Amino acid sequence: GTISDLSAVVDSSVRVAYVANVFNPEIPMAPETFSKAVTELLRVLEPEGVVLSRGSSGVFEEALAPHGRMLLQNPLVSVFLRL
């Protein structure tokens, strides 16, 4: 998927990333694609950058958690701060 290849984006160059309905059970994603997508988002996100996620299953938030902290997490919206 596109989100798993952000090679056109420079490292640590994104202040805010918004993803919607990407990481949920209704849209299957192969484990390797999921892993690459998380890795790419973390690569391009600048220190203290924010990821806004809407419609996630919670697995995405679990993958991000070791790299920062969740500012908000509920079934509708999550906000992650990279530290």
| Percentage of the residues of the chain whose pLDDT score is greater than 70 | 96
Q: What tens digit of pLDDT does each residue of 2-25 get?
A: 788 999 999 999 999 999 887 776
State the CB neighbour count (10 A cutoff) for residue 17.
19
Which residue, chain included where needed, has tokens 């993803």? Answer: 19
d(CA 58, CA 68) in angstroms, rounded, equals: 15
Contact 29, 3 (CB under 8 A): no
What pLDDT shows up at residue 1? 54
Token pair of 78, please? 């999550």
Q: What tens digit of pLDDT does each residue of 39-62 get?
A: 999 999 999 999 999 988 788 899
d(CA 75, CA 40) in angstroms, rounded, equals: 24
Paired residues of 70 in beta bridges: 80
